[in-house]
Amino acid sequence: MATAYGGAEVLEVTDVDVPDPGEGELVVDIRAAAYNPADWKIYGGLWGRDPDALPRLVGLEGAGVVSAVGPGSSFAVGDPVVLYPASGTFAERVLVRESGVVPMPLGVAWDVAAGTLLTGVTAWHALDAVGLGESGPGIAGSGGDELAGAGPGGSQHGADGEHRGEVLLVHGGAGGVGAVVVQLAVLRGARVIATAGASNHEYLRSLGAEPVAYGDGLAERVRAIGGVTAAIDTVGTHEAIDVSVELVADRLRVATVAGLEHGAERGVLLLGHGPGMDAGREIRAAARGPLLELVASGRLQVRVAQVFPLDRVREAHELIVSGHARGKVVLLP
């Protein structure tokens, strides 16, 4: 729980009563909760400092086991589930809306499941926005079965390779969102060029991308690899947006999830939950099940950097704020 707005010092582990679930609600015993940059930006006051919101529960996603259900629930006690979007997952037990809960597939570890959806749905939405969404007959799973459910916009999940001939530039390809963008784009047949520091280039190659160093001369280095048809910025720098606009002829095929002010100035797509941005709520909600199935089948990797017990949440905060975590940071109650 955050008792004030600030840094690690405002985080306290305390006892809070969890109410019984009403209609459309569940109580879930948390097995793992992912720590995202959005969490500390909320309690750090970067997105507002409403005093009436304090003290506030922390944690936007997690995974666990249903321990109580409201009237008419489609879930049952004992079901393993993944939570997103949720509130207060940094806990042993949490009350959540059923709309923020999806079944957890077999074969997915708790820490991986907890860290899949926030970054995953953001990546899925970004690809859809720049024209690399799914529209074909179906992505086959490891056993050849189509993933259940409808994709963004009501279409079925697209076939592997449906975007062959496309070249996607991903800024921040080794980050949480960027790594999922890279993998999904590769699955869909696109050629992917991704920026990162030299220490992450081998990791990007393992995901199927062609790595390129960011910094002065980026546009020329990308041109030397090949032409670009679309670009997604996950880091928010002026360089990322300016190079994308320079290399991609159609600004409606350039999207940012981080550089919102400069992105608006350059006329690119702004993705997120602020004014003038495309929140993509239906697209993101529909992507949750398919993303987890891709993880379960081994076709989508979610890298976990470090796991902390809940009572070391302040240490986890420091790692998240440092920006040096290579993968998801996860809390275990």
Sketch out the chain's domains with CATH numbers. 8-116+302-332 (3.90.180.10), 119-282 (3.40.50.720)
Q: Can you give the pLDDT at residue 324?
A: 87
Residues lower than pLDDT 50 in the chain:
136-158
> H or E segment at 290?
helix 281-296
The three-class DSSP label of residue 300 is coil
CA atoms of 100 and 193, how far apart (whole Å): 33
What is the C-alpha to C-alpha distance for residues 69 and 24, in angstroms, rounded to an integer? 8
pTM over 0.85: yes
- Tell me, what DSSP letter sits at residue 166? -
Radius of gyration over alpha carbons of the chain, in Å?
20
**Residue 175, phi-psi category: left (phi > 0), alpha (psi -120 to 50), beta (remainder):** beta
Asked if residues 232 and 127 have their Cβ atoms less than 8 Å apart, the reply is yes
- Using CA atoms, how far apart are residues 223 and 196, in angstroms rounded to an integer? 16
**Contact status, residue 118 vs residue 126, Cβ threshold 8 Å:** no
C-alpha closest to that of 134 among 119, 153, 149, 116: 153
Q: Is 255 helix (H, G, I), strand (E, B) or coil?
A: strand
Give the chain's end-to-end CA distance (angstroms, integer).
13
